[in-house]
Amino acid sequence: MNATAAELTEPTHRRGGGRLGRKALRSAPVASFPTLVRQIPVYEIVPDEAVELIHQESLKILEEVGCEFRDDEAIELWKAAGADVTETRVRIDRALLMELVSKVPPEFTLNARNPERTVRVGGKNSIFVPMYGAPYVRDLDNKRRYGSLADLNNFHKLAYMAPALHSSSSIICEPMEIPVPKRHLHIIHSALKHSDKPFMGIVTSKERAEDTMAMAGIVFGEEFVRDNPVLVAITNCNSPLVWDATMLDAMRVYARHNQPLILAPFALCGASTSASAVGAVAQVNAEALAGVAFTQLIRPGSPQIYGQFMVTVDMKTGAPMGGTPEAAQMMYLMGALARKYKLPWRTSGFHVGSKLNDAQAGYEANMLMHAAILAGANYIWHSAGWLEAGLTCGYSKFATDCEQLVGWYKYAGGVSFHDFKEAMAAIREVGPQGHFLGTQHTLEHFERAFFMPSIMDFNSYEQWNAEGAKDHDTRGREKARNMLADYEEPKLDEGVAEGLKDLIARREEKLPDSVS
């Protein structure tokens, strides 16, 4: 077998390839799949000339229209770099812009408190990350209500137990009973306590970002987090063309610590962009590049993630829509641009508008995840739990999304030829009119030969009916409930756990119970 074919014998992983990789793919839920290294080609939806056209128009936007940076320190940094600054409007020459963007490394390591959960971001590497920011949950009794700290704890537990999730995110749902000024402390504590995977930082104020880094320092060591990525934080440009002080404050905290930021415009296409898919991409690309460039004024060479969140607006009602064909097409365009700039990039996988874990949710999710995978996304966010345009995180949706991610992981890992000779030998062993169920090849390979979901039902109608005629949503809630019953906490070192509790107590004494 030649070298190229040998590479196809197993999905290739940065860690855990060969026998260990196969073991991980069939392990108990607390096992974590290694970084997904895609073994299928990216899909180019338009020719290179079209990508270049969008690129050039984005440069013109930043040179001629400019972007608002509403923060005094940011303005001084841009002035010192040689940008054209008028009050808070920054016009960035293309040479300066691309020089700064080129400083971002094309790949980086994202460290977990358990080194076995450490992953790579960028290049052919992809990771799946659960949702973020839902004020509501659809609970285990299928009731929609405000989220609580107990719910957040549960979702972090589920993220830890899901093998194809590579991160625990952070604000999967808002713990609404905790005062806003103190909420971030409990969110980060939950992510660090209930999972040992990478997590996400808080960006709603400079102080909250600093608290996040202080907590990370207790877990990983202060010296380590000064230079080594242990979290990812999201910063959103306010489309059109505004980076506000809150986001810029968070950028400074994290970039100075060498922690990667997602520089992601939040675009409602048709409302905060023009009613044009390619027009929206040109604008969002300009906004994202301006953010990426700014991080390099803070710390040159710091790892960053080029990002986008682009959904179309229902032109009848103004409501955001999830899994539309235009949203998928825009992902392909952003992926092509990210490759042009050699930047790691983020998109969203399973973000849907459906209120329930129903057929609409499935259609929307498939439209977007297929595009995310084929567009070559590196950080695939909102990959578990998302309902109702992000307002709700559903237990059933979370569990069923996690199961589907196993399938997507296998799909993107490419076709394996590792047992091809044995499969051919089995044909000769069985011959005409036989069956393969008892062959040695089947006995050795049945566990990993095909995707074997546990929530999806493929039984006969009679068996399905005898077992309660449960729909997919019901089975998803049962799966989530069973996973939580099986959860075992990945214990923190006792000194680390006490250090986190002490920091939270000290900070809570100083923080108010309400926002002034």
Structural domains of the chain, with CATH: 99-413 (3.20.20.480)
Distance CA 38, CA 264 (A): 23
Is 291 in contact with 251 (CB distance < 8 Å)? yes
Give pLDDT, residue 30: 64
According to the model, what pLDDT value does residue 135 have? 98
Strand-pairing partners, residue 234, are 262
In the prediction, which pLDDT does 26 show?
Answer: 39
Length of the chain: 516
What is the chain's percent helix, strand, coil content, to nearest 5? 50, 15, 40
Residues 49 and 31: their CA atoms lie apart, in Å, by: 44
pLDDT profile of the chain (516 residues), mean per 10: 31 38 43 94 97 98 98 98 98 98 98 97 98 98 98 98 98 98 98 98 98 98 97 96 97 98 90 90 97 98 94 77 89 97 96 95 96 98 96 98 97 94 93 90 88 94 96 97 97 97 98 88
Asked whether the beta carbons of 20 and 45 are under 8 A apart, the reply is no
Q: Which residue type is seen at 487?
A: Y
> Tokens 């930021």 identify what position?
261
The whole-angstrom separation of Cα 128 and Cα 384 is 9
| 192 Rama sector, left if φ>0, alpha if ψ -120 to 50, beta otherwise | alpha
Integer Rg of the chain from CA = 23
Q: 354: which DSSP letter?
A: -
Q: In terms of C-beta density within 10 A (0-12 exposed, 13-18 middle, 19 or more buried), how is residue 5 classed?
A: exposed
Task: Check: CB of residue 34 under 8 Å from CB of residue 115.
Answer: no
- Taking the C-alpha atoms of residue 514 and residue 178, their distance in angstroms, rounded to an integer, is 10
SS3 label, residue 173:
strand
Distance CA 180, CA 188 (A): 13
Q: Report the SS3 class of residue 142.
A: coil
Kindly tell me the burial class for residue 266, based on how many C-beta atoms sit within 10 Å of its own C-beta (0-12, 13-18, 19 or more): middle
* pLDDT of res. 269: 83
Distance of alpha carbon 487 from alpha carbon 159, whole angstroms: 11
- For 313-446, strand residue ranges (E) read 345-348, 379-381, 386-387, 392-394
